[in-house]
Structure 1
Amino acid sequence: MAGQESKVIVNPVGSGGRVRRLWPELQQVLRESGLEFSAELTERPWHAAEIARRALDQGFRHFVAVGGDGTVHEVLNGLVVDGTIDPAVSLSIVTGGTGCDLVRILGVPRDPVQAARGVAGGHVRRLDIGELHCQRAGNPHRRYFVNVAGLGFDGEVCDRVNRSSKAIGGTIPYLSSLVFTLFAYRNKDVVLKFDGQSQSGTYNSVVVCNGQYFGGGMWICPPAVPDDGIFDVVILKDLNNLEFLANVSRVYKGTHLSHPKVQHFQAAEISVESRQRMFIQAEGEVVGEAPATFRILPSALNLRV
């Protein structure tokens, strides 16, 4: 029965084709671990979400995402029905795509073979997820994320990354796209509302964090905890190009929160508005534009680690 089987969803183009090359070995490791499963390989953007939703309707309750953060993002969105995830549903992650920022703080091995060996066992950790309402092609759009979402410069960088090759994976494409984007980007006039408060200013980025890392290893929010029922929000204020470049290394080290033009606070719900165009990324995928509202959904996802 599907309910006793796991559905393995594989992104073969993850990390410039690394997942495709590894998949025969990973498949064998999963079988040897005792996991009963059926597997499907994605063929196009958003296919992982479609596979997950169809498998959910067929009765599958354990899902394995094989790929990077974008693959996990798609599978997660396929599992959410009417704003909730069935408590009987659980997700495992086998890394292999570009970035893999989510697993850095979850206890999931970053080595794909080691991660595959642990899928059949492990324990369940209940994670918060974020619900995002924004605009996409002029229409209301809703997405869910488990790690980090961002608006402004962050979204512009991810747009450039996704239009370029990810073949070399991880930090290098993000950092090179960051530098190219920096010289064309202009900071935005933003109005924020969060938990009954409001503020406005000219900002470079607004980053809404459930996890700690993004951009292939940037430690954007060291205090963030993915199961504490609240977002950590990091605002990069009106940094000029020289200030930004001078502090990039601090973001990788996680020491930037003390900078006078960086603000950090916690909120369960936050809305972001701007008269200028602001791209939004979630898990490294460009999902829409502002205005946007983010809401935390506590303990919504069962992650098997």
Structure 2
Amino acid sequence: MRALLVVNPKATTTSERMRDVLAHALASDLKLDVATTGHRGHAAELARAAARENVDLVIALGGDGTVNEVANGILADGPSPDLPAVAVVPGGSTNVFARALGMPNDPVEATGVLLDALRSGRSRRIGLGMADDRWFLFCAGLGFDADVVARVERRRAEGRKSTHGLYVRSAMRRFYRSGGTRRSGPLTLEEPGREPVGGLCLGIVQNTSPWTFLGDRPVHACPDASFDTGLDLFGLTKMTTLPTLRHLRRMLASSGDAPGRAPQGRHVVSLHDCATFTLGADEAVSLQVDGDHLGQHRSVTFRGVPHALRVIV
């Protein structure tokens, strides 16, 4: 089997030694080429070329952003049964996609699981989401959470390490500096066949659950979201301190692998298993997909695409 290992050397927990050890282990079962990314978007370029050269498998060693780029590269011309499968060796700080698939968060253990899956022929087809023309694996967001991602990216560009603490501090600063937008947001939800819902401060779109992790604790904004259904949405039309803390506590209330109940309340807007909907804005607002900031947008249409990608798990 021909395979390409795409390595992001700047991922939080990825090192040159780890890359060499994992490549040696994978090469025992695969005809393996290794490519190291050098700039943003490079993983997508490498994966697109691999798909057009009929490579059988593309393995991403890095964080969620690296895996997102690999998926977008493979699916550049749309889903097809002839495209390469994707496998993940987690090397980032959070690794939501790998963990949502049930992979260990340790890269060495994940490599062992991957090799076992290859030897036994285990794989599954999963649905993905699209934000306009950009594929996403597990989540996208417009508004508040995307602003937090943008702030974290600026801090990382200044040399700060990506940690859960950095995300928490960035979220708190954004929350308390947002002024009136916490009580009436700029977003409007439009879903076919329903009346528009305006005033959203944020819109979190999930293709699976959890939304993210806080350390080892999963955060479930849409606990019923699944790779096997359409898209889910969690939105808030008002963000004040005590209600927001109650929503966060419910998002963190899980028992083992079983998520708790979805946040509820008169300011909560939720959708489950949707094929498509649009979030528009009165002003340009931030968009993030799988934890990468994609700039400012006035309107984004989200679509769920079933059976879009084959993954080795």
Quickly name the TM-score band, shorter chain normalised. Answer: 0.7 to 0.9
Q: Does residue 1:276 correspond to 2:272, yes or no?
A: no
Partner of 2:267: 261
Q: Does residue 1:225 correspond to 2:220, yes or no?
A: no
Superposition pairs of residues 112-261 of structure 1, within 5 angstroms: 112-122=107-117, 123-133=122-132, 142-165=133-156, 168-185=161-178, 186-187=181-182, 188-217=185-214, 218-228=219-229, 230-245=230-245, 247-253=247-253, 254-255=260-261, 257-261=263-267
Does the aligned pair in 2 maintain the 1:171–1:215 contact within 8 Å? no
**1 CA distance for matches of 2:145 and 2:80?**
28
Match of 1:101 among 96, 101, 104: 96
Partner of 1:82: 77
**2 CA distance for matches of 1:244 and 1:205?**
12
Normalising by structure 1, report the TM-score. 0.88
DSSP 3-state at the match of 2:196? strand
Does the aligned pair in 1 maintain the 2:54–2:83 contact within 8 Å? no
Change over 3 Å in CA distance of 1:21–1:264 after alignment to 2: farther
Change over 3 Å in CA distance of 1:110–1:85 after alignment to 2: farther
Q: Does residue 1:44 correspond to 2:50, yes or no?
A: no
Q: Does residue 1:53 correspond to 2:48, yes or no?
A: yes
> Counterpart amino acid of 1:93?
V
Instruction: Give unmatched runs, 5+ long, in structure 1.
Output: 134-141
Single out whichever of 171-180 and 18-27 deviates more from structure 2.
18-27
* Cα drift, residue 176 of structure 1: 1.4
Q: What percent identity do the matched residue pairs reach?
A: 29
Partner of 1:26: 22
> Counterpart amino acid of 1:262?
V
**2 CA distance for matches of 1:85 and 1:77?**
13
Does the aligned pair in 1 maintain the 2:225–2:232 contact within 8 Å? yes
> Counterpart amino acid of 1:105?
A
Normalising by structure 2, report the TM-score. 0.86
Change over 3 Å in CA distance of 1:167–1:29 after alignment to 2: farther
**2 CA distance for matches of 1:243 and 1:43?**
43
**1 CA distance for matches of 2:4 and 2:177?**
43
Number of residue pairs the alignment of both structures matches: 291
**1 CA distance for matches of 2:77 and 2:136?**
15
* Cα drift, residue 49 of structure 1: 0.5
Instruction: Give unmatched runs, 5+ long, in structure 2.
Output: 254-259
Provide the alpha-carbon RMSD of the alignment.
Answer: 2.1
**2 CA distance for matches of 1:255 and 1:168?**
33
Partner of 1:136: none
**2 CA distance for matches of 1:65 and 1:167?**
24
